[in-house]
Structure formats: structure tokens, C-alpha cells
């Protein structure tokens, strides 16, 4: 199955320029996607671009991951309703390094004709003078052409700085540079990148007469219309410091049925046959949630490793299984700590607990589980608070008999939100 067909059945194909397929048939083609280092970790939204590169490589072509050290300094207006604030240079350099490290895990960088490479547009942009840029790049495209781009049009009402307006030229130049220096003939990205990509293709055509291509994938959506990859806590990051492996695993495990059918095609490398079979099985026995489990396993293992995945599964079992207060008390401390790794932790003086703390004070004052006493009372009224897996309904006093291992109290707000309270002497 060729690359384009592969993307098509996976639902990862939005649009491509005429001739793209022929080019890919004709020869081993080098293609790139750009990632702007706006943070020091990738999030799962980036995973889509990375999977495109992965499929490209599996189809025998050569993937380039472009870290946008230069473009990241400017800010892409695509899909943004407001001007972006600039990141400091040292921040960007740090982010680049972190992102590079993460990328190494997903593609094959070993020797071979189509081994993956990471490039950074800062390397070729940093010494490019303003006048040089105007003469070499700006001269070849008209304002009229640039204004016609959606990303620009949408911002004309609300305002767009010259800097962001210029973004497409900088990205366009990247394409030109990679075309000349790496024989790169295809640029890929999310559908919001179409305008930026075609600017590059146009620049290459006018400057060199060369023919290059574009391919985009649709924006990933959720069935309920919300933005993909966001939770109440914000983005789902690959870096375990920002999103614990447990939460990462839970994110995928919690996908709705409709979404998982879609995501398993996009985020795993399972074959069409395997996926069709899984979907069929899932429809037969939906309560087993084979789709979500397979999806979560596949991605978590690839991002965090098998070992960490196992821990996340074990933790989930304890937290969501038929775990009772007794079970909780029986867990050895090291397992206990692994299970609750990444769960918000509050420290309370041992004396406060041994003296007996009113549940409302305990939730709102001694810990920050509730934002105010009013909220704490509401939670209790709703019946959404559990301590050590035991529902708390009315006024209770929390004392040392609640401590697990003489140290911990497990508090739940609703089914999914866990908090750990540690007594310190």
C-alpha cells in the first residue's frame, strides 16, 4: 500500500497538490513537517505530524523533522485569533533541545538511505540579514498573494502585526532551503498549514522553476465538538513532568467509542485488518473497551516505555477496580507511592489530623482540595467526596484512624479525581 493510500484509509488525508502521488511513486522522496518549539515538550497534537512522518518512512521515503527555532521566534498566525507573544531566545533554544530528544523516539534515525533527520531553521535563518531576506525572498511574492491567505484574511479585522504577516515567507523560505539543500519535494502538516505550504511551493516555482508538493491532514476533532488533546488540566504532554504517565494512559483510555475508532487509525501503526477486527470485537462487546485499551497501551508504551505503562495499568486497576478501603491499606508503601505518582499531593501536619479535623476544614483549609468552605460543603452535599474509597456524606471528623501506613489519606472528588494527603510530623 502506498503512502497516500495508507493515509487515506487512516483518515489522515485532507488535501494534497496534484502530482504528489506521482512524485512519491517515481522516487524516494524527502518530505518534512515543521514543529515550532513553543514549549519544551511536544503534546499529543504534535503526534499526528509525527505519525505522518512515520508512515512516510515506512513507505520508503525520507522524513525530515524541522524544529522551528526561527519560525518559533515569529509566531504563526494560522488558526490564532490574536497576536502571539514572543518567547525569549534562550527559552526557544531550550525548547528546541527538549523537542529534539523526544523526536528521536518516534522515527528511525539510524543509517539507511531514508533515515530520518532533524533540521532547525534557526541554523539557516539566524545569519540571514533583513535586507538580504527582502531581496531574496520578499521580492518574489506579492502582497496581494500573501493577503489572500486565510490565516491572514481572518486577522485583518482584528489586527495582525507585520511580523506575523511575514511568517508565511519565513516558512516558505524553509521549504526553498530544504528543496535546494536536501532535495526536499514535499511538505506536510495540518490542514491549517495549507496556506503556508503553498506559499513555499510558489516561492520555489518562481525562484527555481522547481516543482514541489504539499499534503495536509485534517484537524483532529472529538465527536462532541471539543478540541482534541485538551483536558481540564490543559494539554496532554509527552513529557512526564507535565502529564504523568498515569494521566497520559487515562486520557486514551477515556476516549469515547466514536473517537477511539478514529484515533486508533491515526495514532497506532496497527494494520487495517487488525484495526477492522478490533472495531468489530469492540462492537460485539463494547463494555470490554478493547479499542480504548489497545489504543492506550500502544501509545503509552511508545511514549513512556513498557515498564511505565505497566505501572499506569496497575495504578488504574487499584484506583478504578473494586478496590476497597482494606485493599488500599494492604498495598505496600512503594507500590502505593507509584500508584499515586502524579496525583496532587497535600501535606498536613500530623498533629492537625491526630487532633481530629472537621471534614470541611480538612478539604478547604488544611488541603486545597476544595477552593472554599462553600465548595467543600457543596461537594459533601453532592456526595462526591470519598476518603480512602469510602463515601463521605455528612459531617465527619478526620483523625489518625484514617491514615494509611500512618501517613496517607486518599481523597476522591467524584470518580476520577484523586488527591493524596500526607501527614508530616
- Based on the residue annotation, tell me whether 38 is a catalytic residue of this protein: yes
* Residue indicated by cell numbers 521549504: 175
Instruction: Exactly one of 23, 38, 352, 390 is catalytic; name it.
Output: 38
Q: In this structure, are residues 50 and 66 in contact, taking their beta carbons and an 8 Å threshold?
A: no
- Based on the residue annotation, tell me whether 43 is a catalytic residue of this protein: yes
What minimum distance in Å lies between the beta carbon of 208 and RNA? Answer: 44
Cα 103 → chain centroid? 13
What minimum distance in Å lies between the beta carbon of 42 and RNA? Answer: 24
φ, ψ at 118 (rounded to 5°) = -110, 130
Instruction: Exactly one of 30, 57, 171, 308 is catalytic; name it.
Output: 171
Q: In this structure, are residues 169 and 199 in contact, taking their beta carbons and an 8 Å threshold?
A: yes
Window 52 to 91, contacts with RNA (CB under 7 A): none
Q: Which long-range contacts (CB under 8 A, 24 or more apart) does 151-158 make?
A: 151/76, 151/77, 151/78, 151/79, 151/192, 151/195, 151/196, 152/77, 152/195, 154/81, 155/77, 155/80, 155/81, 158/81, 158/82
Q: By C-alpha distance, which of 388, 423, 392 is closest to 408?
A: 423
Element containing residue 160 per DSSP (H, E) = none
- Based on the residue annotation, tell me whether 227 is a catalytic residue of this protein: yes
Q: Which of 377, 389, 407, 422 binds RNA (CB under 7 A)?
A: 377
Say how far apart CA 133 and CA 256 lie, in whole Å. Answer: 48
Q: Please name every residue paired with 117 in a beta bridge, in sequence order, or none if there are none.
A: 64
Instruction: Exactly one of 14, 54, 80, 94 is catalytic; name it.
Output: 80
Rounded-to-10 torsion of CA 395, 400, 405, 410: 20
What minimum distance in Å lies between the beta carbon of 164 and RNA? Answer: 20
- Based on the residue annotation, tell me whether 231 is a catalytic residue of this protein: yes
Q: Which of 114, 161, 191, 384 binds RNA (CB under 7 A)?
A: 384
Nearer to RNA, 241 or 287 (CB): 287
Q: How many residues contact RNA, by CB under 7 A?
A: 35
Nearer to RNA, 132 or 414 (CB): 414
Say how far apart CA 61 and CA 43 lie, in whole Å. Answer: 25
Window 136 to 175, contacts with RNA (CB under 7 A): none
Instruction: Exactly one of 108, 192, 298, 361 is catalytic; name it.
Output: 192
Nearer to RNA, 253 or 410 (CB): 253
Q: Which stretch binds RNA (CB under 7 A): 9-17, 33-41, 120-128, 218-226?
A: 218-226
What minimum distance in Å lies between the beta carbon of 327 and RNA? Answer: 15
Q: Which stretch binds RNA (CB under 7 A): 14-22, 46-54, 128-136, 219-227?
A: 219-227
Say how far apart CA 357 and CA 369 lie, in whole Å. Answer: 14
What minimum distance in Å lies between the beta carbon of 57 and RNA? Answer: 32
Window 254 to 293, contacts with RNA (CB under 7 A): 254-257, 286-287, 289, 292
Told to check if 320 binds RNA by CB under 7 A, we report yes
- Based on the residue annotation, tell me whether 287 is a catalytic residue of this protein: no
Nearer to RNA, 74 or 376 (CB): 376
Nearer to RNA, 105 or 416 (CB): 416
Q: Which stretch binds RNA (CB under 7 A): 16-24, 50-58, 59-67, 381-389?
A: 381-389
Nearer to RNA, 79 or 383 (CB): 383
Told to check if 371 binds RNA by CB under 7 A, we report yes
Q: Which long-range contacts (CB under 8 A, 24 or more apart) does 292-297 make?
A: 292/252, 292/253, 292/254, 292/255, 292/260, 293/253, 294/264, 294/268, 294/270, 295/252, 295/253, 295/255, 295/260, 295/263, 295/264, 295/267, 295/268, 296/249, 296/250, 296/251, 296/252, 296/253
- Based on the residue annotation, tell me whether 80 is a catalytic residue of this protein: yes
What minimum distance in Å lies between the beta carbon of 93 and RNA? Answer: 36
Binding site for RNA (CB under 7 A): 223-224, 226, 232, 250, 253-257, 286-287, 289, 292, 316-317, 319-320, 364, 371-375, 377-378, 381-384, 413-417
Which residues does the annotation mark as catalytic? 38, 43, 46, 80, 84, 171, 192, 227, 230-231
Amino acid at each position: 500500500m502506498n503512502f497516500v493510500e495508507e493515509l487515506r484509509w487512516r483518515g489522515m488525508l485532507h488535501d494534497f497538490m496534484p502530482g504528489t502521488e506521482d512524485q512519491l511513486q517515481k522516487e524516494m522522496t524527502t518530505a518534512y513537517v515543521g514543529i515550532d518549539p513553543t514549549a519544551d515538550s511536544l503534546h499529543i497534537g504534535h503526534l499526528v505530524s509525527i505519525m505522518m512522518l512515520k508512515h512516510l518512512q515506512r513507505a520508503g521515503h525520507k522524513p525530515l523533522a524541522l524544529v522551528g527555532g526561527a519560525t518559533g521566534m515569529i509566531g504563526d498566525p494560522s488558526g490564532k485569533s490574536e497576536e502571539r507573544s514572543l518567547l525569549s531566545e534562550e527559552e526557544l533554544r531550550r525548547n528546541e533541545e527538549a523537542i529534539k530528544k523526544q523526536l528521536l523516539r518516534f522515527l528511525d534515525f539510524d543509517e539507511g538511505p531514508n533515515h530520518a533527520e532533524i533540521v532547525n531553521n534557526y541554523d539557516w535563518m539566524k545569519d540571514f540579514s533583513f535586507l538580504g531576506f527582502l531581496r531574496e525572498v520578499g521580492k518574489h511574492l506579492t502582497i496581494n498573494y500573501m493577503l489572500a491567505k486565510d490565516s491572514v484574511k481572518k486577522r485583518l479585522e482584528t489586527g495582525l502585526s507585520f511580523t506575523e504577516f511575514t511568517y508565511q515567507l519565513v516558512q516558505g523560505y524553509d521549504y526553498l532551503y530544504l528543496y535546494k539543500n536536501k532535495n526536499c519535494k514535499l511538505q506536510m502538516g495540518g490542514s491549517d498549514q495549507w496556506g503556508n505550504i503553498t506559499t513555499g511551493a510558489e516561492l520555489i516555482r518562481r525562484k527555481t522553476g522547481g516543482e514541489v508538493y504539499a499534503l495536509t491532514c485534517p484537524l483532529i476533532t472529538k465527536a462532541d465538538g471539543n478540541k482534541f488533546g485538551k483536558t481540564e488540566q490543559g494539554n496532554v504532554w509527552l513529557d512526564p513532568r507535565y502529564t504523568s504517565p498515569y494521566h497520559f494512559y487515562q486520557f486514551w483510555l477515556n476516549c469515547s467509542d466514536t473517537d477511539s475508532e478514529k484515533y486508533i487509525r491515526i495514532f497506532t501503526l496497527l494494520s487495517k485488518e487488525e484495526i477492522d477486527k478490533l472495531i468489530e470485537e469492540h462492537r460485539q462487546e463494547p463494555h470490554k473497551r478493547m479499542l480504548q485499551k489497545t489504543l492506550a497501551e500502544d501509545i503509552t508504551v511508545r511514549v513512556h516505555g513498557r515498564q511505565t505503562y505497566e505501572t499506569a495499568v496497575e495504578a488504574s486497576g487499584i484506583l478504578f477496580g473494586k478496590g476497597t478501603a482494606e485493599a488500599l491499606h494492604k498495598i505496600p508503601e512503594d507500590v502505593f507511592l507509584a500508584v499515586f505518582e502524579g496525583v496532587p499531593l497535600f501535606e498536613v501536619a500530623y498533629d492537625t489530623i491526630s487532633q481530629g479535623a472537621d471534614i470541611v476544614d480538612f478539604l478547604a483549609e488544611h488541603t486545597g482540595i476544595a477552593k472554599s468552605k462553600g465548595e467543600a460543603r457543596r461537594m459533601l452535599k453532592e456526595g462526591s467526596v470519598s476518603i480512602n474509597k469510602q463515601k463521605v456524606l455528612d459531617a465527619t471528623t478526620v483523625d489518625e484512624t484514617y491514615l494509611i501506613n500512618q501517613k496517607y489519606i486518599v481523597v476522591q472528588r467524584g470518580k476520577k479525581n484523586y488527591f493524596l494527603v500526607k501527614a508530616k510530623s
